[in-house]
Structure 1
Amino acid sequence: MKNIKIFKKPLYQYSLFLPIVCLILVLIANLIQTPTFFKITIQNGVLYGYMIDIINRASGLVILAVGMTLVVAASGGTDISVGAVSALAGAVCVATLGTEETYRVPYIVAVLLALLVGIICGVVNGYLVSYMKVQPMVATLILFTAGRGIAQLVTGSFILYVKPEQFGYLGNFMPGIPVPTPCFVALIIVLITFIVLKKTPLGMYIQSVGINSRASRLIGLNSKLIVFLTYVFCGLLAAVAGLISVSRTMSIDANNVGLNSELDAILAVAIGGNSLGGGKFSLLGSVIGAITIQALTTTLYAMHVAADQLPLYKAIVVVIIVSLQSPTLIKWFKSIVPKVYTNSNQAVKEAK
């Protein structure tokens, strides 16, 4: 019988190989540190365990990473305002609902207003980048600095609390459902985005514009509109992440909601094997990258690393992970593997 090949090429040549390996290494580090790391139980009718907590906490970052992936792929730049946009959207939602025992307006109205704020922020960023030709980091730096200030104006520079219990359903658990609600939200967003990109030409258009926008215009693509829409979508997802964040704490603290989340989102895209220069992208890779970052955070907390020292250790590990995915190192690895394989075969033949 002929040998059946499961994979068409060596595993290391697949784009998701290194992101998955990095995630596995981080999970193994967690297991060594905490032997009960993979244990999942049910307490008070909900799932409980380290893995559940990681997936739950990573849900908001997964949502941000999806939007950031498309922005990076289309424009070759990053949106560093997503954290501030999350805070602003959350502030609008909480301020609209009020701090009374009952909502001042229907909950859906406040949610729609928050999502509209995210879309408007995306429109501003997208217009500056695509039509005004402002560098993405410079364009989004405006809302990065001003977004939290606007959120402070909305909240009156106070930490506002929401009293109705139903407000916490989005960021925690729905009654009778043992799985955290953010997991469902993240899964739905990833699936919808994946289906749209795969079942329509939009995914190919984004890659084409990211690789060469001028060539894309010559073949009839509206490259400006495509870049513009990716920023609008990124702003919308930032608002969703902000709603989850304020729902978790039943409050809005404009100084802390989404703080440094833009950096984690960019790192998730990089760890996922995506080029920050634009072009070809992997949505699943970014999702794996987001979970890896959250798992890494859990590892550092288990090692009793202080919260203010966390960014330092995280940066060191991320530099190592990203370096492992550098084109130069991958090219060197690919050149070494065939030689090792050939030498091993030669040694076997000589031994016989």
Structure 2
Amino acid sequence: MNQTNRTNLMNRMRKHHLFWPLAVLGALLLFNLIYSPDFFSVKMRGGHLYGNVIDILNFGAPLILVAIGMTLVIATKGIDLSVGSIVAIAGAMACLTISKGGDQNSLGLVLIAVGLALALSVVLGLWNGLLVSGAGIQPIIATLILMVAGRGIAQLITDGQIITLSSPKYEFIGAGSLATLPFSIFVVVAVFAIAALVTRKTALGMFIESVGCNPEASRLAGIRSKYIVIAVYMFCGLCAGIAGLLLSSNISSADGNNAGLWYELDAILAVVIGGTSLNGGRFYLTGTLVGALIIQTLSTTIYTVGIPPEVTLVVKAFVVLAVCLIQSEAFRKALAYRWKTRRYPGEKEVARHV
């Protein structure tokens, strides 16, 4: 391969939506490897795999689920600020049902609790969809209503207390293992596979993107844009509900005040880092997956380095800002222009058009 072909290949790689997210994720992992040489070590204890990489996948599972649903909502030029509250409501409903049902380790009771929690999450997603699509309320306002009220609903369900459980069968959802790996990883793989198959192997994905690009033109083309919008909000609610089950079952308790707190912001960041535009249209589920892994790896890195908790959010914000700037083509061009004009002061006009 000659120099020209290599240059063209590198240019095509840089323009790929996954190039910069993967580069940032690789840089974070490399830093952890240098700082802690045993970072990638994985050990087997009691038939289960343990290690930092396993923890990133396990603890990042709820965020990945919420971000998958958020991706489809953002693709329709919407936003869902209520996902954190839905996470809290789903966990609270499941834990309340089990705690009031008698034998907490009954499989039937656990299945009923999971079914009720997920059904409620879908209904809440339907509520958001109806406000956005039916009532015509702006998505940020429509979902802000449930974001605020949802915390109150979760507090009402738990009666302002933390509900604790002693149910190994329910605990298995978030803390159990299957084939030596955390069960939560399999849940994420299943949801991601279903979302990818439905949106990429059927016309639904194209409909979602068309609604995000121009809902009126989509309607005139025969696409029932209102139903598409309602469907994606329902799916987003379902994803948040599953995330709530993972979180509450992992700690065998429900905290209506703190469960899922700020998950909506991390999910939006994961979607944007993955290359999906907030202006709607084309979306990238794989990019969202990488973006969520970046956020979870960053959190793990912060704790590994030993940064004080009071400045954790500040460090996280600066790193995310740096990632977004690196992804910005306009920022990279401006940076390249300044570098060229400093190195070759007499060639400003040439650099301006590069």
TM-score (normalizing by structure 2): 0.89
**CA deviation map 1:164-218 (0-9, x unaligned):** 22221110123x6310011000001001110111110011111111111111112
Q: Secondary structure at the match of 1:115?
A: helix
Alignment partner of 1:121 out of 112, 121, 124: 124
Partner of 2:81: 80
Q: Which residue is equivalent to 2:154?
A: 151
1:181 pairs with 2:159: no
Once residues 123 and 332 of structure 1 are traced to their aligned partners in structure 2, the CA distance between those partners, rounded to angstroms, is: 44
1:342 matched residue in structure 2: none
Pair 1:109 & 2:112 matched: yes
Question: How do 1:63-102 residues align onto structure 2 when only pairs under 5 Å count?
Answer: 63-74=65-76, 76-98=77-99, 102=104
Report sequence identity in percent: 42
State the 4+ residue runs in structure 1 displaced beyond 6 angstroms.
Answer: 1-6, 333-337
Q: SS of the counterpart of 2:125?
A: helix
Alpha-carbon deviation of 1:332?
5.0
Cα distance change on mapping 1:37 and 1:223 into 2, 3 Å = same
Alpha-carbon distance, 1:336 to partner: 10
1:281 aligned residue: 283
Q: Which amino acid aligns with 1:79?
A: D
> CA distance change for structure 1 residues 8 and 198 in 2, over 3 Å: closer, same or farther?
farther
Displacement of 1:7: 5.6
Rounded to whole Å, the distance in 2 between the matches of 1:290 and 1:213 is 28
2:176 is matched by which residue type in structure 1? F
Separation (CA, whole Å) in 2 of partners of 1:62 and 1:26: 18
Correspondence for 1:266:
268
CA distance in 1, matches of 2:34, 2:140: 39
Residue identity matched to 1:120: V
For residues 321-351 of structure 1, what are the alpha-carbon distances to aligned partners after superposition, in whole Å with 9 as ceiling and x for unaligned? 01111241255579899xxxxxxxxxxxxxx
Structure 2 contact 151–257 (Cα < 8 Å) conserved = yes
Query: Which one of 184, 199, 202 corresponds to residue 200 of structure 1?
Result: 202
Is the CA contact (8 Å cut-off) linking 1:86 and 1:241 kept in structure 2?
A: yes
Residue 40 (str. 1) matches residue 59 (str. 2): no
Worse overlay, 283-292 or 165-174: 165-174
Distance in 1, matches of 2:115 and 2:336, equals: 50
8 Å CA contact 1:101, 1:163 repeated in 2: no
Task: State the 1:222 CA deviation.
Answer: 1.1
1:130–1:227 Cα contact (<8 Å) kept: yes
Q: Deviations over 1:62-94 (max 9, x none)?
A: 1111000000001x2321110110100111111
Flag the 1:185–1:334 CA change in 2: closer, same or farther, 3 A. farther
Partner of 1:16: 18
Structure 1: gaps of 5 or more residues = 338-352
| Alpha-carbon spacing, 1:13–1:254, altered in 2? closer, same or farther (3 Å) | same
Residue in structure 2 matched with residue 167 of structure 1 by the alignment? 170
Secondary structure of 2:173 counterpart: coil
Q: Deviations over 1:23-47 (max 9, x none)?
A: 1111112212211111111112110
Q: 1:2 and 1:292 mapped to 2: Cα distance?
A: 34
Q: Deviation per CA, 1:266-308, whole angstroms, max 9, x where unpaired?
A: 1100111111111111000000000010000011111212334
Q: TM-score normalised to the size of structure 1? A: 0.90
Structure-2 change in CA distance of 1:13 and 1:85 (3 Å): same
